[in-house]
Amino acid sequence: MFFKNKILMKLKRKFQKKNQLIKGIVKKNYQGFGFLETIKSKKHYFISKKYMKKVLHGDKIYAKIIIKNNKKIAIPKKLINSFLKKFVGYIKKINNIFYIVPKNFFFNEFIEIFEKDIKFFFLKSGDWFIAKLEKHKLNKENIFQAKLIKLISKKKNIFIPWLVILNKYNLDSSEPIISKKKFVIKYKNIRSDLTKVPFITIDNKSTKDIDDAIFIKKLSKKRILLKIAIADPTSFINKKDKIDKIALQRSFTHYLPGFNVPMLPRFLSENLCSLKPFKKRPVLVCKMIILKNGSIKKNSTFFLAWIKSHAKLSYENVSNWLENKGSWNPNSKIIENQLILLNNFFHLRYSWRKEHTLIFPENKDYKFKISDSGEILNVYQESRRIAHKIVEESMIAANISAAKIFSKKKNFGIYNTHSGFDINNAKKVSHFLLQENINISYKQIITLRGYQRLYNYLISIKNYNLIKKIQKFQSLGELSYSPKPHYALGLKVYATWTSPIRKYTDIINHRFLKSIILKKNYVENKYKKLSKINEKKRKHKLAFKEVENWLYAIFLKDKKNFKKFFLIEIIDIYKLGIKGKIIENGAIVFIPKIYMRKKKYILKTKYKYDLKKKIVFKNNKIVFKIFDIIKVCILHIESNTHRIIAKIID
């Protein structure tokens, strides 16, 4: 009869509910406390600083929920799995105990190291390692403890920022190691001999992996002949070779500030494949006819050839000569004529693309000047000059030609795509634009033509701030085996093949092009490769940003920078503070809420935020808005995250 007693059953359920553990993920706040976010309902329960010492950000745990001072609080009870597994960190010795501190924004915990690792690696504070978390405080051991797996760098190595971040994202930090066997060049007999044609290359003075050469000829008043010759690594590398597998695994040459890690061994990328001056090299050539109005005549052709570059020119010298600056001159009338014709070609193509496609305003580009010993000498703003634009227009034309050929065949080629806005973001953009007195429906925005017209209109009225605002709603670019539009370029199809020394997707597209030239079938193991390449691309972008932030932290750590004022452009607004970019050098700074005060807005009333419009109000007046220019000074630089903390100066 007790089993059917309603009161007892109710008490039993209440007792079970009281003692029930809830599953969730730990979210750490930078101030030391945290929250448990439940997996199903996404509810949040407060975790005090005391209990946060038992868990790590991202841990999946079981927790008990109690009520204290009318507030539901989570007490961590059992670990399901830890977010921190394999990680990079630096060694810290405190009171004769060695710890490793993870290199991660959310982790500042000191994790003890196994005794045997201390003796084996002869540890010193400041050394960097890859480690694996072996013990957790929520388990029986009641301790965070890690096993050292691999030494990344000793403390005194000047290349620590690059090596640490590359290892953090599991990216290679040195060139591929492979024996310098005698490579046999394929398709020798079917290559056209263009060695006497005056191809030229235009690159940075320091560039060694030269992958494109250009030749131009005026055929008549209405037609220009353009030949783009691209280095041909697939003439040395077969699909099943070890080096091909390594190239796929790497996917890209990783270009970081002052440091690069090649996709191919340097004896290939900087020697056998590189289009060095006066060296006979195998290439894949695109032959195009440019018409008087700047359009590309239909049916561009591709073929295999031999070339000898007749000159290695630099962007700086070519730009200076075309802009009537400096003392440099081409060493022959032939080279001089090539540069004049290329300049004319650029203006034709640029005008045509401006009218028929989409050309965005150029962003400010900042470059680190780094010595051979790794010392940061300066950060300077680099503008893209006429020589850069000539090469860019040439490569875009060649890539458009390849995409058009691919799109005529089924399941052929890898395309660079950009989908503009998805439907939800298009609706937000349409509503946002309406408030700016621009009436355009989301249905128009999601079409290539509508997207193009919108941006061309904003560019024509020079509303660059509005362009920056709505660009935050855009989708990211993707790689696809299906021909899809590239909204950001305003093109129906686009496929790159002009950087096969540096990009594995371009190697694949070379093989597609060669199958057309040789009239052979080519089958590609599609989706597995593409997912790997997309993942590498994502990791490389993250690595680049982190290395850049670290280098800025080093560059600005000098005491003199804490005594001067900087102008910054606000690039984002959060409830916790403002993110901005220093106009002088491009460094990103963060202004916490407590340092946002202006003298005329002292603590009488709180700030109010419109996070959609990125505006901060005080007493119903706009105090800050995105893209405002404000004056700040640097307060400190966080040692682990390299975040630059600043405060506003009136």
| Catalytic residue of the set 59, 90, 191, 211 | 211
CB under 8 Å to 331, separation ≥6 — which residues?
A: 311
> What is the CA 630 to chain-centroid distance, rounded?
27
What is the C-alpha R_g of the chain? 29
State phi, psi for 206 to the nearest 5 degrees: -90, -5
Respond yes or no: is residue 572 known to be catalytic. Answer: no
d(CA 310, CA 67): 79
Instruction: Tell the burial category of 105 from Cβ atoms under 10 Å away from its Cβ (0-12, 13-18, 19+).
Output: middle
Whose tokens are 């080629």? That residue is 413
Respond yes or no: is residue 172 known to be catalytic. Answer: no
Cα–Cα distance list, 131 to 30, 111, 119, 248 (Å): 23, 10, 16, 26
d(CA 199, CA 535): 36
d(CA 512, CA 409): 11
Whose tokens are 């903390």? That residue is 645
CB under 8 Å to 398, separation ≥6 — which residues?
A: 228, 230, 286, 288, 497, 498
CA angle centred on 482, ends 400 and 298, rounded to 5°: 30
| Catalytic residue of the set 209, 232, 506, 628 | 209
Respond yes or no: is residue 558 known to be catalytic. Answer: no
- How many DSSP H helices and E strands does the chain contain? 15, 31
18: its two tokens: 């009281």
d(CA 188, CA 646): 61
The neighbour count for residue 321, using CB atoms within 10 Å, is 21
User: What pairs with residue 378 in β-bridges?
Assistant: 369
d(CA 483, CA 481): 7
d(CA 641, CA 550): 8
CB under 8 Å to 265, separation ≥6 — which residues?
A: 175, 176, 177, 178, 180, 243
Q: Helix, strand or coil for residue 645?
A: strand
Q: Identify whether the C-beta of residue 194 lies closer than 8 Å to the C-beta of residue 282.
A: no
CB under 8 Å to 152, separation ≥6 — which residues?
A: 88, 128, 129, 130, 160, 163, 164, 167
Respond yes or no: is residue 203 known to be catalytic. Answer: yes
Respond yes or no: is residue 610 known to be catalytic. Answer: no
Q: Of the candidates 142, 177, 130, 133, which has an alpha carbon nearest to the alpha carbon of residue 54?
A: 142
| Catalytic residue of the set 203, 232, 506, 628 | 203
Cα–Cα distance list, 348 to 291, 323, 351, 353, 399 (Å): 9, 18, 5, 9, 17
d(CA 502, CA 511): 15
Task: Please provide the DSSP assignment of 339-355 as one string.
Answer: HHHHHHHHHHHHHHHHH
| Catalytic residue of the set 45, 315, 366, 487 | 315
Residue length of the chain? 650
State phi, psi for 126 to the nearest 5 degrees: 100, -10
| Catalytic residue of the set 59, 127, 212, 506 | 212
Respond yes or no: is residue 266 known to be catalytic. Answer: no
Q: Identify whether the C-beta of residue 435 lies closer than 8 Å to the C-beta of residue 466.
A: no
Report, as residue numbers or ranges, the catalytic residues.
203, 209, 211-212, 315, 502
